[in-house]
Amino acid sequence: MTGIYLAQGTIMPTSSYTAPHRSDGHNGHNGANDASGASGAKGANGFYRAVWRWHFYAGLFVLPFIVLMALTGGAFLFHHEIDNYVYSDLKQVNPSSAAPLPYSTQISNALAHQHGKAVKLTTPSSPTGSTEVTIADASGARHAVYVNPYNGQVLGELMDRGTIMWTVRHLHSLAEFGTFPNALIEIVGGWTILLVLTGIYLWWPKPKDGSSRLAIRGKPANRRWWRDSHAVIGLFAGFFILFLATTGMPWSVFWGKYANQFANGTPTGYPSGVRVNVPLSTIPMIDAFGHTGWTTENAPLPQSVDTAPRAIGIDKATNIFNDLGMTPGYAVSLPIGDRGVYSASIYPNDLSLQRVIHLDQYSGKPLIDMSYADYGPLGRGLEWAINVHMGQEYGLANQLFMLVVCAALVFMAVSAGIMWWKRRPSGQLGVPPLPRDMRKVYGVTAILAIGGIIFPLVGLSMILILVLDLLLVVRPRLQLRNA
């Protein structure tokens, strides 16, 4: 319900406000007669106005970010398809009747192309897929080198996470702009939740003309059409917008970090496979793989405990992983130091196939073998929600449905802006009017503060908005009343 009543009011007293003439044929009154079709009783209701005011500020803050995340999120739903098409010369090969070359040979060929140290191997997910070898150069920068598994030919390279879709993913999380902008994810997600809830409250009054709450009246040239379309689409998309906002929170800098620590500090998060009596390093899985499931990203890598003259090597390690039933397309993080391990992981669309196996680099013995079935209840729930959020869990239907939700988000943001522009009094921001009973404002703020406690960064932004509203709007408004 993003921004349903973005600009139906002014900061001027209702009793003294005269509607300015608008050249577009719309007057500029404060909306008491058409704010959702419910007049007088609701329009003059202090609680209603207080909710409306917070809805306005929430929309004013998050609408640009919602458009950015809806567009990038909609594109990322099809990241495999897009990357495979754009980089088909690197990621796709012609299948051969010949057996693939040993991975050690493929890695050697990749190192001859790009000097450095091999740190990760990603196996082909199908007979037409190439092998990806990640190499860290002398400066520490990582390169993804693609090799034809059948003849060992190096097909080319990209910077690790250098594809178009990785860039889109970083834009989606705002990580492309640094840590502070990335923190806005939590703020935007929290305010989006408040937008939906306050929008539903504002929509609820039945139109006074007796028409259905689901009716779309007027034509696109009229503000009423945009308002009704915004409300109706928001009503049907609201639940799924809540879902996207809530399931996006695990990636946030502050809340996501501590939620992960809480989940994995109890049996509700980390798979039981992590809770075994093996020595653990201080290296989290996300540092080794670069991309893991949310539940296991901070799980520490185990350490090799057996001793032998030398490591078993990548060829034997991959044979063991294959024998243990790893799904093709898994990534192998190569041992880091003398106590490091061979770590294989895969996070396919099918959650039941998620799996991580760590092998002792000397004996080849599995130290930890964990799958989705081993996750605690919170871990399973969040992984399922994240998979659906990303359009992965239910195939093409999941992708297309989430694409429709993303399109609805863009429409909601655009329609909110158009409504604001059409109703905005000339030369004014169009802040909804204050209730005469300020206790209503305090009551609504106290209710919304619950969200600020759950999501602390949202709470800080609420305090900032309160201070600005007090200094720039409320005080001048009260001074005008008392004049």
Residue 173 carries which side chain, given as an amino acid letter?
Answer: S
d(CA 17, CA 10): 9
What pTM was estimated for this model as a whole? Answer: 0.78
Q: How many of the other CB atoms lie within 10 Å of CB of 53?
A: 24
Task: List beta partners, residue 143.
Answer: 135, 159
CB 54 within 8 A of CB 194: yes
Q: What interhelical angle do 438-454 and 456-469 show, nearest 10?
A: 150
d(CA 424, CA 432): 10
CB 36 within 8 A of CB 224: no
Tell me what percent of the chain is helix, strand and coil, each rounded to the nearest 5.
50, 10, 40
Give the pLDDT confidence of 225-265 residue by residue, as tens digits. 998 899 899 888 999 999 998 888 877 767 776 766 666 65
Residue 367 carries which side chain, given as an amino acid letter?
Answer: L
d(CA 80, CA 66): 23
Q: pLDDT below 70 — which residues of the chain?
A: 1-45, 175-182, 206-207, 209-210, 253, 257, 259-277, 290-291, 293-296, 298, 427-428, 477-478, 481, 483
Give the pLDDT confidence of 69-114 residue by residue, as tens digits. 999 999 999 999 999 999 999 999 999 988 999 999 999 999 999 9
Structure confidence at residue 27 (pLDDT): 37
Structure confidence at residue 47 (pLDDT): 79
Structure confidence at residue 68 (pLDDT): 92
Structure confidence at residue 32 (pLDDT): 34
- Radius of gyration of the chain from its Cα atoms, rounded to whole angstroms: 28
Residue 395: exposed, middle, or buried by beta-carbon count in 10 A (0-12, 13-18, 19+)? exposed
Residue 456, token pair as written in the block: 């602390």
Instruction: Look at the domain 88-162 and name its fold.
Output: Nuclear Transport Factor 2; Chain: A, (3.10.450)
Residue 213, token pair as written in the block: 């709450």
Residue 358, token pair as written in the block: 């760590």
d(CA 480, CA 472): 13
Q: How many of the other CB atoms lie within 10 Å of CB of 432?
A: 25
Structure confidence at residue 181 (pLDDT): 67
Structure confidence at residue 432 (pLDDT): 74
**3-class SS letters over 350-369:** CHHHCEEEEEECCCCCEEEE
d(CA 139, CA 3): 48
d(CA 168, CA 289): 20
**3-class SS letters over 197-250:** HHHHHHHCCCCCCCCCCCCCCCCCCCHHHHHHHHHHHHHHHHHHHHHHHHHHHH
Structure confidence at residue 10 (pLDDT): 30
Domain with CATH 3.10.450.40 in the chain: 88-162
d(CA 377, CA 385): 12
Eight-class DSSP state of 102: P
Hey, CA dihedral for 458, 459, 463, 469, is it positive or negative?
positive
Element (H, E) at 302: strand 300-302
Structure confidence at residue 262 (pLDDT): 65
Query: What separation in angstroms does the CA of 189 have from each of 62, 130, 275, 371, 472?
Result: 9, 37, 33, 29, 26
Structure confidence at residue 20 (pLDDT): 34
